[in-house]
Amino acid sequence: MPVDHDPGLDQLEAEAIFILREVAAEFERPALLFSGGKDSIVLLRLAEKAFWPARFPFTVMHVDTGHNFPEVIEFRDRRIAELKARLVVASVQEAIDEGWVQEERGPRASRNRLQTPVLLAAIARHQFDAAIGGARRDEEKARAKERVFSFRDEFGQWDPRNQRPELWNLYNGLHLRGEHMRVFPLSNWTELDVWRYIAREGLQIPSIYFAHEREVFQRDGMLMAVSPYLPMLPHERPFVETVRYRTVGDMTCTAAIRSTARTVQEIIAEVATARVTERGASRADDQFSDAAMEDRKREGYF
């Protein structure tokens, strides 16, 4: 069935647009979290369609670790300029320079966990009362526990055992000053839905999603990009491989996969037959423990 006549995709789009309009109606200072990845690119498109022809309705916020892929930063700036949206960059590097977060040391050091306090500080500084994210329930088991409107207390923390019920499409945005809501309009989407929507809408995406030659090295069964941010161990050797990325994140914890998919249609065919989830295949930060994502989310992670 052609993707432009897919009633399932139409239903997911309608649901997400309804949620985005609910956010605009219920909250005073919402922000849309943007990583430059495929999910937040779809969120931008849905927000455009939800309020067209009015101007883009949300402030866009990016938590920049300073170790992002340069192709993604270039894409972010170009896309935000096209939208004429307001961009807030929460910088991990600035937080390190100011001394209120401390960088990890060692060959396996990552700035991934430092994103949480930087995100929470930015939410408090700009008084955002809702942060819209692109998380999906099929990504990881902790994300499967989230409600669409997911409450965060005055410390930005999440309690998976104490969530509000959501009946049908009734969402409860009630919160006190200092508290906020995380909102996930793509909760019911799958990775394949996202790619099919990108194809249907003809959306641009960062070039790292397509197969290309890159200098990588193998660590813990994953292909990590050679970069100044991730020193190699003595036994690790660089080599050139044809790869692409299934997720976009910090270079120190985001791995590439071997692939020859150079078009969106080839990516759709690849994802349709994949036997490993995108985070299982490409995120070293989820391999620390069985509860790694849930631990980070409790602290206030995306």
Q: How does the average pLDDT of the chain come out, rounded?
A: 91
- Please report, rounded to a whole number, the percentage of residues in the chain having pLDDT higher than 90: 76
Q: Distance from first CA to last CA of the chain, Å, rounded?
A: 34
* More confident call, 270 vs 145: 270
The pLDDT assigned to 298 comes to: 80
Global pTM reads 0.91
The pLDDT assigned to 288 comes to: 57
The one-character DSSP state at 165 is -
Q: Which tokens belong to 120?
A: 């929470």
**Cα gap 185→183, rounded to integer Å:** 6
pLDDT digits (tens, 9 = 90+) for 69-94: 999 999 999 999 999 999 999 999 99
The distance between the two most distant Cα atoms of the chain, rounded to a whole number of Å, is 56
- Residue 40 to residues 34, 76, 88, 98, Cα–Cα distance (Å): 5, 11, 15, 29
pLDDT digits (tens, 9 = 90+) for 105-115: 888 888 888 99
If pLDDT is split at 50, 70 and 90, which confidence band does 175 have? Answer: very high
If pLDDT is split at 50, 70 and 90, which confidence band does 5 have? Answer: confident
The one-character DSSP state at 107 is T
